[in-house]
Amino acid sequence: MNVLEAILAAQDGGAVKQLGRQFGLGDDKTTAALSALVPALAAGFSRNVQQDGGLASLAAALSGGRHAQYVDDLSSLGRPETVADGNGILGHIFGSKDVSRQVAARAAQSSGVGADVLKQMLPVVAAMVMGSMAKRGSAAPSATGLGTGMPGGDLIGMLTPMLDADRDGSIMDDVAGMLGKFMGGR
């Protein structure tokens, strides 16, 4: 199951309903928003784990936080500390608020949800992505199993299906293209 599927299925669809209530969207619009935002977030995570020390940094963040709460306890999604944590995650994976704004603007074009709503939703969705990965990683025997194909520990595997757009078996060209679009390069 990839990270988008995990979020959509969280709490038997309760995460979608909670986000919809929180941001004034119906289930269809919430799903469209998630479908537009999560691949961009996945690209950011994937780019970071490919850098020196990136996988170890992600493993430390996943093991050191209580990120699973964002998919286990849906009431946590409306808390200010969730937004603060999500903004921290966005800063780490995108590096600037400008990139986050560009992600929201592009997601608005493809989802039909307003960019202002998506900007507010983005930190919460980032926290949920981290929560989904934390739940997946907690099934691994150790944090060093992340991305190695060990049962339950293949976090990169959660990101890859959404990122290999041309199905060539490599996500690097797709991630570079996606990030280039968000950063105004293409």
Domain ranges of the chain: 3-182
List CB contacts of 98: < 8 A, sequence separation 6 or more. none
Rounded to a whole number of angstroms, the CA Rg of the chain reads 15
Whether 140 shows a pLDDT value over 50: the answer reads no
What digits encode the pLDDT tens for the residues 72-96? 999 999 999 999 999 999 998 888 8
CB 110 within 8 A of CB 36: yes
What digits encode the pLDDT tens for the residues 144-174? 444 443 333 455 555 555 444 454 555 445 5
* Residue 153 confidence (pLDDT): 41
Phi-psi region of 151 (alpha: psi -120 to 50; beta: other; left: phi over 0): beta
What digits encode the pLDDT tens for the residues 25-50? 999 999 999 999 999 998 888 888 77
Give the global pTM. 0.76
> Looking at this protein, which amino acid is placed at residue 40?
A
Residue with tokens 């430390």: 60
Q: Which two tokens stand for residue 28?
A: 């269809």
3 state SS of 61? helix
Phi, psi of 23 (to 5 degrees): -115, 10
* Residue 133 confidence (pLDDT): 86
- How many CB atoms neighbour CB 101 within 10 A? 16
**Nearest-10 Cα torsion for 117, 123, 171, 57:** 170
Measuring CA to CA, which residue among 103, 71, 91, 61 is closest to residue 1? 71
pLDDT over 90 for what percent of the chain?
A: 46
Residue with tokens 């935002």: 37
Q: Is residue 149 classed exposed, middle or buried when 0-12, 13-18 and 19+ CB atoms within 10 A define those classes? A: exposed
Measuring CA to CA, which residue among 90, 61, 72 is closest to residue 6? 72
How far apart CA 158 and CA 143 sit, in angstroms, is: 15
